[in-house]
Amino acid sequence: MSIRVRFAPSPTGHIHVGNARTALFNYLFAKNMGGKFILRIEDTDLERSTVESENLIYEDLKWLGLDWDEGPIKGGEFGPYRQTERFDIYKKYVDKLLEEGKAYKCFCSKEELEVMKEKALKEGKPPRYNGKCRNLTEEQIQQLENKGLKPSIRFKVEQEEVEVNDIIRGNITFKTDAFGDFIIVRPDGTPVYNFVVVIDDALMKISHVIRGDDHLSNTPKQVLIYNALGFEIPNFAHIPMILGPDHSKLSKRHGDTSVNQFREKGYLPEALFNYLALLSWSHPEEKEILSKEELIKSFTLDRVSKSAAVFDFEKLKWMNGIYIRNKDLVELTKLCIPYLINSGLVSNDYIQENFEKLVKMVESIRDNLEVLSEVSDYLKVYFCMNTDFDDSAKEILGYDTTKSVLVSFKNFVENIDELNEDNYKIAIKEVQKEVKVKGKKLFMAIRVGVSGTTKGPELDKLVVNLGKEEVIKRINQVLNLMGE
């Protein structure tokens, strides 16, 4: 069997992380099996679908590194890959079902359907269609159409039960009286999801339908249509949903939930890729930091769990920090630039002239950085000295040795040509000898002396990157404030 899977988003906005995880599982499965990953745009909901959203989807997928083998833009043998361009194809199959008596025209008005629904609910039954138009004669249909009434088309459900075989969930039997004869074409002529998805998956030769289990209840309807049209039923794998930290369905109120929000915050695509792969899937050796190649190599559907995954924002952040630390430093600096400019910390001109310096600054804070958007906060110390001392800085300034440490360190710096990591180390030793302090009393004193705070970049790098003049200037400023 040739492996063909698809990701089939509706273009209504940026990709939600839940859908991104679905795309990712499809992608990993296809690549692991040497199959094809197909992108299909499900835009039959004309009111909600927009071309802009379609472009956002392409952008999000490309950023995450989920390139598709067939789909819009790329094309492929089984196109078109946008449902609104396939209406003629769907029509053929609607006609076939009508001709074979497997579907029928239904003229019931919205109001009538509403009454039916209320009655069923009152009787404690599932609100399904009562079959009123099931047996209309040709003549009756003609008369109603002559009146200008536009029918919907309903699929005739004749089985009592449908069995769905799911790779993740096992075999599930659905009772059809939960839904009854369902609509496949709306009165305005647009076919519905449950119908078109079957035609598309069948004609695009999809071997495995891997999607969120919010679609599980749609699957029996789809199985009925596969059977009615004589199509082979694909393998289904319904993946469990993603929960927020409070164990309710992950949604906006939990914070960032769409791919672009993570992108904007400064998550690296490879980190999000890695993190999403671990939501309801685990590596056979329980490894957590996995490159795209490793994930492709080890991904199998039998390791997808039945239980929902909890989205752990902190863990994603931690993982992003690891990817940041492993990133090439120049690359990382380039990725930080938009954040530095947006925050107003530096200008384009500054970056042009001081790129090398900037790389060194980023190096000095890289171990602290977990998301790129934090970079301006961390680098601020290079551009302005903090003199609004907080309690911990005041504590350091209050030590009786601090002033001597600063004076001694400053004297040393004044007597060298240029600060570098080697003479910084010598300076520290000299101060230590002269003032006879070590540890916090030595290092924190210098840190507060050159930055005004107790936290920040690695101290040796901070001092060297600030340079001789700036270090002297800052220490003088602190000494002055201390009442020199």
- Of the candidate residues 5, 8, 198, 435, the single one contacting ligand GLU (CB under 6 A): 8
According to DSSP, the β-strands at 309-310 and 161-166 are unpaired
User: Which string of DSSP letters, residue by residue, matches 228-277?
Assistant: HHTPPP-EEEEEPPEE-TTSSBP-GGGS--BHHHHHHHT--HHHHHHHHH
Q: Which is nearer to ligand GLU, 20 or 375 (CB)?
A: 20
Q: Which is nearer to ligand GLU, 16 or 403 (CB)?
A: 16
Q: Which is nearer to ligand GLU, 179 or 382 (CB)?
A: 179
Q: Which is nearer to ligand GLU, 12 or 373 (CB)?
A: 12
Is 252 annotated as catalytic?
A: yes
Give the nearest distance from C-beta 198 to ligand GLU in angstroms.
9
Per-residue exposure over 202-213, b if at least 16 CB sit within 10 Å of its own CB, e if not = bebebbbbbbbb
Rounded-to-integer distance, Cα 22 and Cα 242, Å: 11
Give the nearest distance from C-beta 193 to ligand GLU in angstroms.
6
Chain Cα centroid distance, residue 205: 28
Task: Tell me if 238 contacts ligand GLU by CB under 6 A.
Answer: no
* Residues of span 324-343 touching ligand GLU by CB under 6 A: none
Choose the binding region for ligand GLU from 3-11, 267-275, 316-324, 437-445 (rule: CB under 6 A). Answer: 3-11
Q: Which is nearer to ligand GLU, 11 or 151 (CB)?
A: 11
Give the nearest distance from C-beta 7 to ligand GLU in angstroms.
7
Q: Which is nearer to ligand GLU, 22 or 152 (CB)?
A: 22
Task: Tell me if 211 contacts ligand GLU by CB under 6 A.
Answer: yes
**Which of 215, 271, 275 has the alpha carbon at shortest distance from 239?**
215
Phi, psi of 265 (to 5 degrees): -70, -20
- Of the candidate residues 164, 183, 184, 197, the single one contacting ligand GLU (CB under 6 A): 197
Task: Tell me if 42 contacts ligand GLU by CB under 6 A.
Answer: yes
Rounded-to-integer distance, Cα 233 and Cα 226, Å: 6
Residues 6+ apart with CB under 8 A from 318: 370
* Residues of span 338-377 touching ligand GLU by CB under 6 A: none
Give the nearest distance from C-beta 467 to ligand GLU in angstroms.
55
Choose the binding region for ligand GLU from 5-13, 184-192, 251-259, 437-445 (rule: CB under 6 A). Answer: 5-13
The SS3 of residue 163 is strand
Choose the binding region for ligand GLU from 4-12, 260-268, 270-278, 370-378 (rule: CB under 6 A). Answer: 4-12
Give the nearest distance from C-beta 8 to ligand GLU in angstroms.
4
**Which of 2, 1, 4 has the alpha carbon at shortest distance from 26?**
4
- Of the candidate residues 4, 16, 31, 215, the single one contacting ligand GLU (CB under 6 A): 215
Rounded-to-integer distance, Cα 467 and Cα 421, Å: 11
**Which of 67, 465, 30 has the alpha carbon at shortest distance from 237?**
30
According to DSSP, the β-strands at 152-155 and 4-7 are unpaired
235 neighbors 1 (Cβ within 8 angstroms): no
Which residues does the annotation mark as catalytic?
A: 252
Positions that interact with ligand GLU (CB under 6 A): 8-10, 42, 197, 211, 215
